[in-house]
Copies of this chain bind each other. A is one copy, B any other.
Amino acid sequence: MVRAAVMREPNVPLEIQDFPEPDLQPGAILLETLFSEVCGTDVHLHHGQLAGVPYPIIPGHINVGRIQRTGGAIRDVEGDVLMPGDVVTFMDVHETCNACWFCLVAKATTRCPHRKVYGITYSARDGLLGGWSEAIYLKPGVKVVKLPASIPPERFIGGGCGLPTAVHATQQAAIQLGDSVVVQGSGPVGLSAAILAQLSGACQVIVVGAPQLRLDMALEMGADAVINIEEHSSEDRTVLIKEMTGGRGADITIEASGNPQAIAEGMRMTRDNGRYVVVGQYTDAGEVKINPHWDINRKQLDIRGTWGIDFGHFYRAVKVMAKHGARYPWEKLISQSYSLDQVNQALADVASLKVIKAVIKP
């Protein structure tokens, strides 16, 4: 039997259930879970803030595991055969259809209506399709990436879903050598964005966030400066950013805060004709007032909404970590590791921002 944590419905504690060891279809893989992430989305799931979730579910969308069995010879994107014992991760989003208007004409696979997500859009009745479990069933076609030896599993899960999301945001940011970059938000996405901005040519990276624990981590991860939102008003923050950027504002601002009010502030922190990437508004947290004359038109601002990731972002995240993991040890973002039996505590600690990142080690 396989033990898994099940979120039966919103706002009630998860419980551990036993599931039978699954048979494998051709093309499927069974993973022994090494680590699964607890992220803000899991808190939203637990609070019932996402529409269309087929409770009961096994949460856990970003995971690292060891291959136990495979349904025949399966190759990864590089053409290499996947073998039992390989330590791998996989792309939680899958079944983008390659047949709809968004996949084929818009080439915006993150908006494909058929996409499925491990740990979010599958019911526990459908099988071991989330990572808070001793084992995970990878359906045929799920995209698997082998972890290179230079990435310990803990480091990969320390990056978690924040890292590939930040890869997408950083691509949208189109940073040029020498740019100044402000990151709004110091959670996992913001911290990874602050690292990736450095790796993409930014010569000044400023993180605006809270609490101090996270800002200290930003500094440890190479940010040039931080601004604690618990100590400075929105107006002050904008003034501070201008002072640090020659009076003009940041060349590029990346929003990773989740707070609608951050949008107006971020527009004002960005220089005329700069670029503003919005990646943190993952759930509907309400409205914000902006002044389109000053904030968009006169400023000639370039604003780029950024939703989810595609496989390219996921693949590049692994490449970046393999190269730069020693310099930016993402495992330091893990404040605490929890067993399956502690998942409710893990959720509570993430919700209260007590931890930067929580991981499940089943």
Contacts and interface: CB of A to CB of B under 8 A. Distances in A.
Interface in A118-151: 141, 143
A204 to B, nearest CB: 8
A52 interface: no
Interface in A249-266: 260, 263
Nearest to A272: B111
A302 B305 contact: yes
Interface stretch (A34-42, A93-101, A334-342, A344-352): A93-101
Interface stretch (A208-216, A316-324, A354-362): A316-324
A291 B260 contact: yes
Contacts of A111: 272-273, 300
B291 A299 contact: no
A241 B272 CA distance: 32
Q: How many copies does the complex hold?
A: 4
A232 interface: no
A231 interface: no
A107 B171 CA distance: 14
Contacts of A101: 77-79, 246, 248
Contacts of A293: 260, 281-285
B297 A78 contact: no
Contact of A246 (B78, B171, B271): B78
A106 B273 CA distance: 8
Given A78-B246, A178-B319, A290-B290, A104 B311 contact: yes
A283 B273 CA distance: 17
Contacts of A227: none
A273 B201 contact: no
Interface of A: 77-79, 96, 98-102, 104-108, 110-111, 141, 143, 167, 170-171, 176-178, 196, 199-201, 203-204, 246, 248, 260, 263, 271-273, 278-294, 296-307, 310-312, 315-317, 319-320, 322-324
Given A106-B273, A287-B289, A303-B305, 9 more contacts: A77-B105, A102-B272, A106-B272, A196-B201, A278-B292, A281-B293, A288-B289, A300-B307, A301-B303
Which 6 pairs across A and B sit closest by C-beta, in order of nearness? A178-B319, A178-B316, A108-B273, A281-B297, A303-B303, A203-B323
